[in-house]
Amino acid sequence: MKIEEFTLERIQSLYENTVEYNLSDSGVHPYSLRELLTPSEQRALLDVELGYGWTNGKVSLREAIARLYPGRDADNVIVTNGSAEANFLLVMSLLEPGDELVVFVPNYLQILGWARAIGVNVKQVLLREELGWTPDLDDVRKVVSTKTKMMTICHPNNPTGSLLSRETMDGLVAIARENDVYLHADEVYKGAELESQEPPSFADLYEKAIVTSGLSKALALPGLRIGWLVGPAAEIYASWQSKDYTSITTSAVSEFVAEIVVQPAKRQEILARSKRILRENLAVLSAWVEKNSDLFSFVPPKAGGMAFLRYSMDINSTTLIHRLREERSIMLLPGDVYGLDKYIRIGIGAPAEHLQAGLERLAGFVRSELR
């Protein structure tokens, strides 16, 4: 089996910790445990036994996660080491060589890469910028066939921050149901909507939906490495079978903290912080784009910790981000990693002063070096 390079993760892992201004992250500035936990919770954490737990996740944690999805119970949930492991288990347990997978792009391309590696036939549906980076349902109908086993979408979207209307969500569910295919949704940015109410999960709308989520993005806790899959019990059990061959269990410490975080009141407290940070930073970025509108434009994100900017300079996006890194110590992500040159992804979840300083350096570079 030959696995193609996951270029997005390779670029970030190589360089994000080597620059002065890292604007490549898509999540919200993380908590410390001292900020997150009450004094009594901190004391209780010290008594957690560091043994093996349940290989599919602590029962009480799975029950707490299940309560976020009406009508689900612990058997509909598996806890994983981050949403990345959840995506891996999804592919390895539900897709076979020769199956057909429909991927909405741009997207976080982990699932696409794994699927191709095991011999899955991948078809792509382009999200349309003129539709606010959402799909045209006619495009979806043209691609789905009798061979299609699953559709997968990132919602809210990485890298554009777009949100689907309820009408479009219902339209995707109708197409999936009509063709009896799985509908997978990566929902790690769900809850970080900037101007609208949190939408339903696809797991709430369709009996064959499978959802990836976790604590890393909207909930600003990537260091805990807690993710999950939610879906039909039989498919979740199949993913558990695969997990026995991977990480076995998640961290007992992380599960203790996660169970606190997913309680409704605590979750809403964290999401309120995330939305405040993202709204303030989107205002900063929007003002900067307007000031530099001869060089940059974008569809403002509606959710999540990033924005996808189009630029007008005559330079390849990967070349651009490496020059910025080497010459100005700024880290961005190139549109190339999503298959879209002449775009860059900028994170808006960092502290405001960090974002402002990085944007100033970016503007200075493009005006002095690329004009």
> What is the pLDDT averaged over residues 226-251?
96
- Residue 324 predicted with pLDDT over 90: yes
- Residue 206: alpha-carbon gap to chain centroid: 21
Query: Of 1-5, 216-220, 353-357, which range is least confident?
Result: 1-5
- Confidence category of residue 1, pLDDT binned at 50, 70, 90: confident
- Residue 371 predicted with pLDDT over 70: no
Task: Name the pairing type of β-strands 77-81 and 333-334.
Answer: unpaired
> What is the pLDDT averaged over residues 81-110?
97
pTM above 0.75, yes or no: yes
> What is the pLDDT averaged over residues 218-238?
98
> What is the pLDDT averaged over residues 293-319?
96
CA distance 342 to 298: 12
Cβ-proximal residues to 199 (8 Å cutoff; 6+ apart), any chain: 163, 164, 166, 169, 190, 193
Alpha helix locations (H) across 208-263?
A: 233-243, 252-261
- Confidence category of residue 83, pLDDT binned at 50, 70, 90: very high
- Residue 22 predicted with pLDDT over 70: yes
- Residue 113 predicted with pLDDT over 70: yes
pLDDT over 70, % of the chain: 100
CA distance 66 to 43: 27
Could you report the per-residue pLDDT of 25-55, keeping only the tens digit for each?
A: 999 999 999 999 999 999 999 999 999 999 9
The residue type of 38 is T
The residue type of 271 is L
The residue type of 214 is G
Query: Domains plus CATH for the chain?
Result: 7-32+271-369 (3.90.1150.10), 50-266 (3.40.640.10)
- Could you give phi then psi for residue 128, rounded to 5 degrees? -95, 125
3-state SS string over 185-203? Answer: EECCCCCCECCCCCCCCHH
pLDDT at 5: 85
Strands (E), 106-167: 121-126, 148-154
Query: Do the beta carbons of residue 156 and residue 118 sit within 8 Å?
Result: no
- Confidence category of residue 367, pLDDT binned at 50, 70, 90: confident
Q: Would you call 154 helix, strand, or coil by DSSP?
A: strand
Query: Do the beta carbons of residue 311 and residue 295 sit within 8 Å?
Result: yes
Averaged pLDDT score across all residues of the chain: 96
CA angle, residues 155, 322, 220, in degrees to nearest 5: 35
> What is the pLDDT averaged over residues 129-149?
97
